[in-house]
Structure 1
Amino acid sequence: MAAALVLALHANISLAQEADSAETPPAPAEAKRDTVTVNAVGKLQFYRYADVNAQVVGQIKEVLFAVGDAVQEGKLVMEISPAIRATQVENNRAQMARLRAELADQQAQTDFAELQFKRQTQLKAQNATREESVESSRMNLSSARARVDSINAQIQQLEATLKFDEESSRHKQLLAPLSGTVVALNARPGQTVSIGQPGLSLMRIADLSKMTVQARVAEADVTRLKRGMTANFQTPGYPGRTWSGKLRQVLPVPADGTGEQGKQTFYNVLFEVDNPEQELMSGMTAHVQFIVAPAKDGLQPSSNQLAPAGTP
């Protein structure tokens, strides 16, 4: 009898559990959509920089900053001794004064020649002078006017020279075009420089508070990128750290060395990242993930939704 009671009790408990389970259906398992990304490799480069170049022919006298030094906009960074010396400038100014005096004297002679020609013309009308005298006065006037024109031409040429001398004197001091850090220097005291000198700039100054990431994205993936989307990247120099920015531009031409016959086409994609501590440096490698679709709770993506880059 005791055994029968135990069996009956167990049967009642099982029936109650089955009834409860029938009344409360199990909750469906939550599914998450993974983050959809486009992966790329890129390089860090300067976002804003300016070069310092010679604006006068001469010799570098002094270089006041070295690579890595911070400099403020408008600060003197380099001084050049112009090839045109002060004595030459003074000689040109003295020659200008002499030419202006000659011009005044020649203008007076021209005025006198004009009076002589007018008088001879009047006498000729009265048959009171010879034809030779009229022609002689005409030639004297023409000659005087030609000398005036010649002196004026010399004055104009000398004025241009003096202006160049003044510009050269004014540009012998090279100033920083922006506030930043000296990142390249190709100048040394005693070096001869000239205007428009080919080759490297004398100095490059960059603002390191912001950097640009230039990533190379494959042709198959670049059409999935849109301006303003989030771009994360890591660099081997700082393991475990991630920086973020917003996509600024997709350059519409293939990256150098790609797209040629037999080679895959890549496009350069640009975005900026703040660098207040100046930890990031130009040339660092960036492993970039462009966020095409962020992860969120919901149904698994259907077959026509975007899959992560590299997914077959």
Structure 2
Amino acid sequence: MDTPIEPPKSLPKQVAPAAQEDKVGPKSQRRVWILGSALAAGCVVVAVVVWLLFFNRPNTASLVSATVAFADVEETVLSTGVLVPFVEINVGSRASGLVTSLTVDVGDTVKKGDIIAQIDAANQTNGLTTAQAALLDIQAQKIADQASLDQAQTAYDREARLYAADAGAKADLDLATKAVKSARALLTSVNAQIRQAEVSVRTAQVNLAYTHILAPIDGTVLAVVTKQGQTVNAAQSAPTIVTLGQLDKMTVEAEIAEADVINVTPGMVAYFTILGAPDHRYYGHIRRIQPAPTTFASDVAATTTTSTAVYYYGLFDVDNPDGRLKTTMTANVSIVLAQARHVLTIPSTALGEQAKDGTYAVTVVLKDHKTTLRQVVMGINDGAKAQVISGLAEGETVVIGDGSVLPAASSSASSSATGAPGTDRGDGL
């Protein structure tokens, strides 16, 4: 027989979902929000750490660098100059007339006293002949006047003896005395005329010598201004026949800008190159700085002034034993203001801003390829490389540019400078 099933005394109550949600309070929500925020912050921290460790290394491949190395450095003033002979003379004529003979040509070498040209000497020869004739005439007059004086002296002596013996009159003695004085005066005048005539003869001889144009110095004929057969007139100024120059020593006339001339003083080392031999340096020392600008003479003569650049001549001399240097050659001049030999240097492009204490900011590449900014004491800077006084050591690497922003040619050239910079090329002092 089946046993009857008794109904349960009580059933559990069904809780509605809405009622369960009502039991989650504000504290639970805050815990969930704090947990989410902490998780997000942790993710950010982890990401930053990963980026700093693996992705924040400097891209040294894009940096153009150079090595600190020993080299020579000098600070110079650049200018353009002209070569001229150390001694240059315009040989002129003080005689007027026709050039009957010209014995030299351009490039000829002459010695002092050599005949260069001959001027027609007919007028000068006639002048000398006339002066010599006048001298002879005065000399003959002197002989006559001397005879008159001797005669007057004899008459005076006779009258003096008669007067002393009371045999002559006082009036006759007085007349004889006056005759002697007059004869002596005439003889004195003739002697003066003779000296004057002798001067005229010497002047005529000099004028005749002027027709022979002689070389005043040893040198080379640089220019022939007057041709044979040409007539010259020396009445107002001496016409130039030829120009002579001594080419064994040359002078460089360097045009120094007014902004640089205040830094240049006599005695400074200067050197130049010529267009035909740009690799060879000729050295000298500044001899003089001209006190007036190169255009001073023309500006004084001009009635109006123009606004142009102002230059001053700096002169220095160089030997030219082989005659390689020619007159009016262009010289590319460098005047050394300061120089240092075998010192630590870096490219000038590596220098950053200058601090108040005079140091420069330089970016240095470390061994781990990271970069650091360092203050460095610098010395001479020639615009291409600069002397390092302190703050860097030989072999260290400095940044001179960013290859990613440099043009291809510039980047390639700068990258090649990573090794030790080369020294200046040229002759030693």
Moved more, 260-269 or 144-153: 260-269
TM-aligned CA distance change 1:220 to 1:295, over 3 Å: farther
Contact preservation (8 Å) 1:36, 1:294: no
How far did residue 272 of structure 1 move? 2.5
Aligned residue number for residue 246 of structure 1: 284
Aligned residue number for residue 96 of structure 1: 135
How far did residue 225 of structure 1 move? 3.9
TM-aligned CA distance change 1:74 to 1:89, over 3 Å: closer
TM-aligned CA distance change 1:207 to 1:234, over 3 Å: same
Structure 2 Cα separation of the partners of residues 199 and 85 of structure 1: 17
How many residues align? The count is 282
Calculate the aligned-residue CA RMSD, in Å.
3.7
Q: How does 1:1-312 map to 2 (within 5 A)?
A: 29-30=68-69, 32=71, 34-56=73-95, 58-84=97-123, 86=125, 89-90=128-129, 92-124=131-163, 127-188=166-227, 189-194=229-234, 198=237, 200-225=239-264, 227=266, 229-235=268-274, 237-238=275-276, 240-251=278-289, 253-257=291-295, 266-276=311-321, 278-291=323-336, 292-294=338-340, 296-298=342-344, 305-308=379-382
**Percent identity among equivalent residues?**
25
Task: Report the structure number with the largest CA radius of gyration.
Answer: 2
Contact preservation (8 Å) 2:138, 2:194: yes
Structure 1 Cα separation of the partners of residues 195 and 68 of structure 2: 92
Structure 2 gap segments, 5+ residues each: 1-66, 297-304, 349-358, 360-376, 386-429
How far did residue 29 of structure 1 move? 4.5
Higher relative contact order (CA 8 A, sep 6+): 1
How far did residue 230 of structure 1 move? 3.9
Paired residue secondary structure (2:69): coil
Structure 2 Cα separation of the partners of residues 221 and 88 of structure 1: 59
TM-aligned CA distance change 1:249 to 1:148, over 3 Å: same
How far did residue 293 of structure 1 move? 0.9
How far did residue 209 of structure 1 move? 3.4
TM-aligned CA distance change 1:172 to 1:139, over 3 Å: same
TM-aligned CA distance change 1:216 to 1:65, over 3 Å: same
Name the TM-score, length of structure 2 as normaliser: 0.55
Moved more, 202-211 or 65-74: 65-74
Paired residue secondary structure (1:288): strand
Contact preservation (8 Å) 1:38, 1:309: no
Q: 4+ residue stretches of structure 1 with deviation over 6 A?
A: 260-264
TM-aligned CA distance change 1:304 to 1:261, over 3 Å: farther
